[in-house]
Amino acid sequence: MQAYSNGFARVFKCLLVLVALCECSSVYGKVHVRLRNEIRPGVGLNFRVQSGDDDLGYHTISYGEEYEFKFTANLLGTTLFFCSANWWDSSAKVRIQGSFDIYKNSKDRHICWENCTRLARPDGVYGNYYGDVADLYMMYEWPRQIYPNQQNQTIASKKFVALKGSIN
Protein backbone atom coordinates (compact mmCIF):
# COMPACT_ATOMS: atom_id res chain seq x y z
CA MET A 1 0.00 0.00 0.00
CA GLN A 2 2.92 2.35 0.80
CA ALA A 3 4.36 1.88 -2.70
CA TYR A 4 0.98 2.74 -4.26
CA SER A 5 0.63 5.99 -2.32
CA ASN A 6 4.26 6.98 -3.07
CA GLY A 7 3.63 6.36 -6.78
CA PHE A 8 0.44 8.42 -6.68
CA ALA A 9 2.22 11.27 -4.87
CA ARG A 10 5.01 11.20 -7.46
CA VAL A 11 2.55 11.35 -10.38
CA PHE A 12 0.63 14.16 -8.67
CA LYS A 13 3.83 16.17 -8.15
CA CYS A 14 4.81 15.68 -11.80
CA LEU A 15 1.40 16.95 -12.91
CA LEU A 16 1.74 20.03 -10.70
CA VAL A 17 5.17 20.78 -12.16
CA LEU A 18 3.81 20.31 -15.69
CA VAL A 19 0.91 22.70 -15.04
CA ALA A 20 3.28 25.29 -13.55
CA LEU A 21 5.60 25.04 -16.56
CA CYS A 22 2.73 25.44 -19.02
CA GLU A 23 1.34 28.46 -17.20
CA CYS A 24 4.69 30.20 -16.78
CA SER A 25 6.56 29.39 -19.97
CA SER A 26 6.32 30.24 -23.61
CA VAL A 27 5.34 26.63 -24.35
CA TYR A 28 1.67 27.66 -24.27
CA GLY A 29 2.41 31.03 -25.91
CA LYS A 30 1.08 34.55 -25.64
CA VAL A 31 -2.09 35.39 -27.50
CA HIS A 32 -2.15 38.78 -29.28
CA VAL A 33 -5.56 40.34 -29.93
CA ARG A 34 -5.87 43.51 -32.01
CA LEU A 35 -8.98 45.64 -32.52
CA ARG A 36 -8.77 48.02 -35.50
CA ASN A 37 -11.25 50.79 -36.30
CA GLU A 38 -12.22 50.57 -39.98
CA ILE A 39 -15.68 52.13 -39.61
CA ARG A 40 -15.05 55.34 -41.57
CA PRO A 41 -12.88 58.47 -41.36
CA GLY A 42 -13.89 60.79 -38.53
CA VAL A 43 -15.61 58.05 -36.49
CA GLY A 44 -14.17 57.11 -33.11
CA LEU A 45 -14.73 53.64 -31.69
CA ASN A 46 -15.32 53.64 -27.92
CA PHE A 47 -14.88 50.30 -26.17
CA ARG A 48 -14.08 48.42 -22.98
CA VAL A 49 -12.42 44.99 -22.87
CA GLN A 50 -12.89 42.70 -19.87
CA SER A 51 -12.51 39.10 -18.75
CA GLY A 52 -13.63 37.38 -15.59
CA ASP A 53 -10.30 38.37 -14.01
CA ASP A 54 -9.16 41.52 -15.82
CA ASP A 55 -10.64 44.88 -16.80
CA LEU A 56 -8.50 46.48 -19.50
CA GLY A 57 -10.40 49.74 -19.20
CA TYR A 58 -12.17 52.19 -21.49
CA HIS A 59 -10.51 53.21 -24.75
CA THR A 60 -11.25 55.21 -27.89
CA ILE A 61 -9.48 54.63 -31.20
CA SER A 62 -9.82 56.80 -34.29
CA TYR A 63 -10.30 55.50 -37.81
CA GLY A 64 -7.26 53.44 -38.87
CA GLU A 65 -5.92 53.05 -35.31
CA GLU A 66 -5.75 49.80 -33.39
CA TYR A 67 -5.65 48.63 -29.80
CA GLU A 68 -3.71 45.52 -28.82
CA PHE A 69 -3.66 43.36 -25.72
CA LYS A 70 -1.70 40.20 -24.89
CA PHE A 71 -2.28 37.38 -22.45
CA THR A 72 -1.55 33.73 -21.82
CA ALA A 73 -4.62 31.54 -22.23
CA ASN A 74 -5.32 29.31 -19.26
CA LEU A 75 -4.54 25.61 -19.44
CA LEU A 76 -8.20 24.63 -19.14
CA GLY A 77 -9.05 26.46 -22.38
CA THR A 78 -11.72 28.66 -20.78
CA THR A 79 -10.11 32.08 -21.38
CA LEU A 80 -12.73 34.61 -22.46
CA PHE A 81 -12.42 38.35 -23.14
CA PHE A 82 -15.53 40.31 -24.06
CA CYS A 83 -15.87 43.79 -25.50
CA SER A 84 -18.57 46.45 -25.18
CA ALA A 85 -18.30 48.99 -27.98
CA ASN A 86 -20.14 51.96 -29.42
CA TRP A 87 -19.80 54.60 -32.12
CA TRP A 88 -21.84 57.44 -33.56
CA ASP A 89 -23.36 56.82 -36.99
CA SER A 90 -23.71 60.39 -38.26
CA SER A 91 -25.54 59.37 -41.44
CA ALA A 92 -28.34 57.61 -39.49
CA LYS A 93 -27.96 59.98 -36.51
CA VAL A 94 -27.91 57.08 -34.05
CA ARG A 95 -25.43 55.57 -31.61
CA ILE A 96 -24.51 52.01 -32.58
CA GLN A 97 -23.57 49.84 -29.63
CA GLY A 98 -23.12 46.19 -28.82
CA SER A 99 -21.15 43.57 -26.92
CA PHE A 100 -19.30 40.57 -28.29
CA ASP A 101 -16.65 37.99 -27.37
CA ILE A 102 -13.44 39.50 -28.67
CA TYR A 103 -11.54 36.31 -27.75
CA LYS A 104 -13.01 32.96 -26.73
CA ASN A 105 -10.36 30.28 -26.35
CA SER A 106 -12.59 27.32 -27.15
CA LYS A 107 -13.30 28.85 -30.59
CA ASP A 108 -10.42 31.19 -31.40
CA ARG A 109 -7.53 28.83 -30.67
CA HIS A 110 -8.70 26.89 -33.74
CA ILE A 111 -9.50 29.94 -35.90
CA CYS A 112 -6.85 32.60 -35.40
CA TRP A 113 -4.39 30.77 -33.15
CA GLU A 114 -2.19 33.30 -31.33
CA ASN A 115 -2.68 36.33 -33.63
CA CYS A 116 -6.29 37.44 -33.59
CA THR A 117 -7.23 40.63 -35.43
CA ARG A 118 -10.69 42.16 -35.10
CA LEU A 119 -11.79 44.79 -37.60
CA ALA A 120 -14.67 47.08 -36.62
CA ARG A 121 -16.52 48.06 -39.79
CA PRO A 122 -19.84 49.84 -40.41
CA ASP A 123 -21.81 46.58 -40.58
CA GLY A 124 -20.07 44.62 -37.82
CA VAL A 125 -16.86 43.22 -36.37
CA TYR A 126 -14.78 40.82 -38.46
CA GLY A 127 -12.24 38.26 -37.31
CA ASN A 128 -9.36 36.67 -39.15
CA TYR A 129 -8.58 33.05 -39.96
CA TYR A 130 -5.17 31.60 -39.10
CA GLY A 131 -3.39 34.92 -38.54
CA ASP A 132 -4.22 36.12 -42.08
CA VAL A 133 -5.99 39.50 -42.14
CA ALA A 134 -6.93 38.94 -45.79
CA ASP A 135 -9.11 35.95 -44.83
CA LEU A 136 -12.01 37.34 -42.74
CA TYR A 137 -15.36 36.23 -41.35
CA MET A 138 -18.09 38.31 -39.68
CA MET A 139 -18.04 37.50 -35.99
CA TYR A 140 -20.54 40.12 -34.81
CA GLU A 141 -23.15 42.21 -36.61
CA TRP A 142 -23.90 45.62 -35.11
CA PRO A 143 -27.50 45.77 -33.90
CA ARG A 144 -29.54 48.37 -35.75
CA GLN A 145 -32.24 50.00 -33.66
CA ILE A 146 -35.17 50.64 -35.97
CA TYR A 147 -38.12 52.56 -34.61
CA PRO A 148 -40.66 52.47 -37.45
CA ASN A 149 -43.24 54.52 -35.56
CA GLN A 150 -40.81 57.13 -34.28
CA GLN A 151 -40.89 59.23 -37.44
CA ASN A 152 -44.69 58.86 -37.73
CA GLN A 153 -45.15 59.85 -34.08
CA THR A 154 -43.11 63.01 -34.63
CA ILE A 155 -45.14 63.93 -37.71
CA ALA A 156 -48.40 63.15 -35.87
CA SER A 157 -47.31 65.32 -32.91
CA LYS A 158 -46.58 68.25 -35.24
CA LYS A 159 -49.99 67.85 -36.90
CA PHE A 160 -51.70 67.77 -33.49
CA VAL A 161 -49.93 70.96 -32.41
CA ALA A 162 -50.87 72.62 -35.74
CA LEU A 163 -54.50 71.54 -35.37
CA LYS A 164 -54.62 72.65 -31.74
CA GLY A 165 -53.28 76.06 -32.74
CA SER A 166 -55.89 76.50 -35.49
CA ILE A 167 -58.75 75.58 -33.13
CA ASN A 168 -57.84 78.29 -30.59
Residue 127 sits in a domain whose CATH number is 2.60.40
With respect to residue 131, please indicate whether it lies within any of the assigned structural domains: yes
Is the distance from CB of 4 to CB of 52 less than 8 angstroms?
A: no
Residue 42 is assigned to a structural domain of this protein: yes
Does residue 2 sit within a domain? no
pLDDT at 7: 65
pLDDT per position as a tens digit, 126-165: 999 987 788 999 999 999 865 544 444 444 444 434 444 4
Q: Is residue 67 part of a domain?
A: yes
> Is 120 domain-assigned?
yes
**Residue 65: φ, ψ to 5°:** -90, 160
Residue 20 lies in a domain: no
pLDDT at 26: 39
Full residue range of the structural domain in which residue 46 is found? 29-167
Is 14 part of any domain?
Answer: no
CA 154 to chain centre: 36
Q: How far is CA 124 from the centre of its chain?
A: 11
Domains held by the chain: number: 1
Contact 61, 44 (CB under 8 A): yes
pLDDT of residue 130: 84
Is 9 a member of any domain? Answer: no
Give the up-direction half-sphere exposure of residue 100: CA atoms within 13 A in the CB hemisphere.
21
Name the stretches of the chain with pLDDT < 70: 1-9, 11-28, 145-168
**DSSP symbols for 66-77:** EEEEEEE--TTS
Given this model, what pLDDT does residue 29 score? 84
How buried is 37 (Cβ within 10 angstroms: 0-12 exposed, 13-18 middle, 19+ buried)? buried
